[in-house]
Structure 1
């Protein structure tokens, strides 16, 4: 991985050679061996070659460095860097450049990388991302121990400025019990619609024996809402799911299964849940 100007200056490669299939351009003026994977780690390393020394990785890129790679695994997601307000840098295609004066206490070193601390990373995502995505990210960061709930709530409540109101709301809605990002988004959608469920709700039989744990539940109405990801179609999982569903049904629970397609039509999804709760309440 290298800057084009360096290898051309040292006569290691020519501009024509850089156009060959042996190299892949990561950013303007930055190239990598074409055999290297097109991964975020490679793009982070390339970004450091052109970023000023005062830059730190931030947002979802920082979350990746802190041990939450799921938050930055979307194809086409830019590498996020933050530079001091007075530094001239960018725009660079493939980079999301933010200009903020970070206090020293908000900067950490993870291995060889300078990035925002876990707390600052969580608060930035809470401010910048759409609310359901922000809450899903906070859930994961809490579950991974990147940031602690007690450490997250106080700064969110005291900060002001752009995005601070959403950050406070995202922190209020966050819950470390969530087991997947789609489950988190589903919980937020229902909560914002006035139908707050209990996450990771434990269902017990008449004798108090454990029957199941459902993604989202309304225990007083015996209604469960489950997110079914691709893994539910895996070998043996279908059989286990059916056995579990039979136990819930026998215990008088109604179960609504939600897929990724359902999350794209939130109005219809909310109406389906509302109707199920209404039937559980009135029998109609």
Structure 2
């Protein structure tokens, strides 16, 4: 019968440095290779029974891997603020002062830049970039659609607001990224309730469609009928993103009954899925554009 791997009680449920555990006689190098422990970074391990999240990886990076003056940044910082996190296996974003020497480390995405006063804050004991600095960095590092996805999340959680982001950008006029941040702010909307809703809205707007209202409430004689992901109420055209929550058959049926009531109220409701956004956005865009044009012609002919 195979020998059970050693699991000292001092290390159960913990993230630790392998070299320290070995120097204290808790484990051997061979023990670290067993199924009881999961490597996170070089010389950093977790109990295999710990559910490793991106946040846990960020905490390990901040504690053991980044030099003084650096901070968790980008998407990793946004995740620590409560925005949707990257997959646990994705690299942790780190911002390092330009003058600080640090070599490449597997599992880290290292960026260099200067810190202005207030650009780094304490978040649950970790040094992270401020909400405004996080948004600025992401506007520089990501394409505009993905940057707006994060900005929507930061605005929805009231971690910052549009005036603060505009002021942050304007105070850095002439520096790389200030125009990118202003552009992302112009496209951002705190009403978005999921990253895919944000992606759908921004791609439609960038394609030349008028900006839709988010979470638009439809009422009939003062009674609630439905709340729509994206809506052009003047045309009675809406877009609904069908996400994974529709794996619940009962919820799916409730949503369909709700939308049937909308159709009875003369709304056009177009549905989009992640697959459609990925594989046939142009076709979906054409459908939305045709619906808006048809309703516009109908209004003009009255």
For normalisation by structure 2, the TM-score amounts to 0.85
The reply to whether residue 229 of structure 1 matches residue 243 of structure 2 is: yes
Gaps of at least 5 residues in structure 1 are none
Gaps of at least 5 residues in structure 2 are 1-14
Shift of the 59–198 alpha-carbon distance from structure 1 to 2, 3 Å rule, reads: same
The reply to whether residue 62 of structure 1 matches residue 77 of structure 2 is: yes
Residue from 95, 104, 109 that aligns with 1:91: 104
Separation in structure 1 between the aligned mates of residue 217 and residue 56 of structure 2, nearest angstrom: 42
The reply to whether residue 201 of structure 1 matches residue 216 of structure 2 is: yes
Q: Which moved more, 1:157-166 or 1:24-33?
A: 157-166
Instruction: Tell me how far 1:10 sits from its aligned partner.
Output: 4.3
The reply to whether residue 164 of structure 1 matches residue 158 of structure 2 is: no
Partner of 2:10 in structure 1?
none
Q: Which moved more, 1:38-47 or 1:167-176?
A: 38-47
Q: Specify the SS of the correspondent of 2:105.
A: coil
Matches within 5 A, 1:22-171: 22-47=36-61, 48-68=63-83, 70=84, 72-159=85-172, 160-171=174-185
Shift of the 52–268 alpha-carbon distance from structure 1 to 2, 3 Å rule, reads: same
Separation in structure 1 between the aligned mates of residue 22 and residue 158 of structure 2, nearest angstrom: 45
Matched residue count: 280
Q: Specify the SS of the correspondent of 1:54.
A: coil
Partner of 1:266 in structure 2?
281
- In 2, are the aligned partners of 1:135 and 1:170 still within 8 Å (CA)? yes
Separation in structure 2 between the aligned mates of residue 243 and residue 12 of structure 1, nearest angstrom: 60
Residue from 259, 262, 274 that aligns with 1:248: 262
Separation in structure 2 between the aligned mates of residue 181 and residue 38 of structure 1, nearest angstrom: 22
For normalisation by structure 1, the TM-score amounts to 0.90
- In 2, are the aligned partners of 1:36 and 1:42 still within 8 Å (CA)? no
Q: Which moved more, 1:181-190 or 1:211-220?
A: 211-220
Shift of the 45–158 alpha-carbon distance from structure 1 to 2, 3 Å rule, reads: closer
